[in-house]
Structure 1
């Protein structure tokens, strides 16, 4: 009986400690990567996983292609398959932390803007993790439609350490490259 009470107390204690860590990480300001070379960041990114949101409901094969506009802003083309239809949404992004380039403001529909913060990025720009400082938005992106399990799991741990509830992540079904469509 004493062993069962002790074991239950240990489990409860660990659970409370983990909850406190998530809450503490959530209270800290969200850290971004130190620097983003925008020329290397441009191109197509495939969504590997994301927090579910109404604007992506029913989507598969989700990708985003970034290109430089003449005015220095970034053209964002999001694509996905919804049912049997290809959906394309175009927006604009601007850098809000000049010189570092890890914080962007993205606008798809006027007057609404969203924060797009790059919080993890491979040295070779093969993957990226993007979030919002309120931690209600999170995307894991890759240059290819798939990402190996080891890398994916490492990104999950790092996102959790930044205060994201990774239990909300849903993997995105990827069939192929829609960027040329």
Structure 2
């Protein structure tokens, strides 16, 4: 009986290790001192479509281009999140991920928790945004993830340069940035 218990334990441990191997692994830390969000966020103004311009490459987004996100408010106050992107370039196969977010810092509205996998939530901090919500810089406390979003699919070079400067000013390592082809 004891031998059977040990075999069951070993099989269970093997299954857990195999499952863990499929969990997305975080990238390198690109900012060891992630700042608090610079200003409050109006949930109503943040809703709508955002196009990704730059990001830290993450395993769950590897090789994606033509990336955009659509946010809308649910009746219960949570946020519907639909992330889309094309694998293999802007003309590649469209992949869509649906999730849900909830605001966890009601005083500023700038900190959210987002889930695409059931009960597992990740941090989503709007670190800064344009006064007219024409751009947004999103990170989280570990400094391993970063997304730079705009309302325009292909913003002008001046805006992209100012976003690069702001990302660097926030303390992020620009050498880890991947430009998203739109």
Q: Which residue is equivalent to 2:66?
A: 61
Q: Which residue is equivalent to 2:42?
A: 37
Runs of 4+ in 1 over 4 A off after TM superposition: 26-29
- Unaligned runs of 5+ residues in structure 2 are 1-30
Q: For 2:172 and 2:83, how far apart are their aligned partners in 1?
A: 23
1:86 aligns to 2:94 (yes or no): yes
Q: Which moved more, 1:40-49 or 1:156-165?
A: 156-165
Q: Which moved more, 1:148-157 or 1:83-92?
A: 148-157
- Unaligned runs of 5+ residues in structure 1 are 1-25, 175-181
Q: Given the two structures, how large is their TM-score scaled by the length of structure 2?
A: 0.77
Number of corresponding residues? 150
Q: For 2:122 and 2:157, how far apart are their aligned partners in 1?
A: 29
Q: Deviations over 1:77-104 (max 9, x none)?
A: 0001124321110001111110310111
> Which of 68, 72, 76 is equivalent to 1:71?
76
Q: Which residue is equivalent to 1:126?
A: 134
Q: For 2:123 and 2:35, how far apart are their aligned partners in 1?
A: 12
Q: Deviations over 1:31-74 (max 9, x none)?
A: 20321111110000000110111111121110000011111100
Is the partner of 2:44 in helix, strand or coil? helix
Kept after mapping to 2: 8 A contact 1:31/1:162: no
RMSD across aligned C-alpha pairs, in angstroms?
Answer: 1.7
> Which of 151, 154, 161 is equivalent to 2:159?
151
Q: Given the two structures, how large is their TM-score scaled by the length of structure 1?
A: 0.77
1:139 aligns to 2:147 (yes or no): yes
Q: Post-superposition shift, 1:113?
A: 1.5
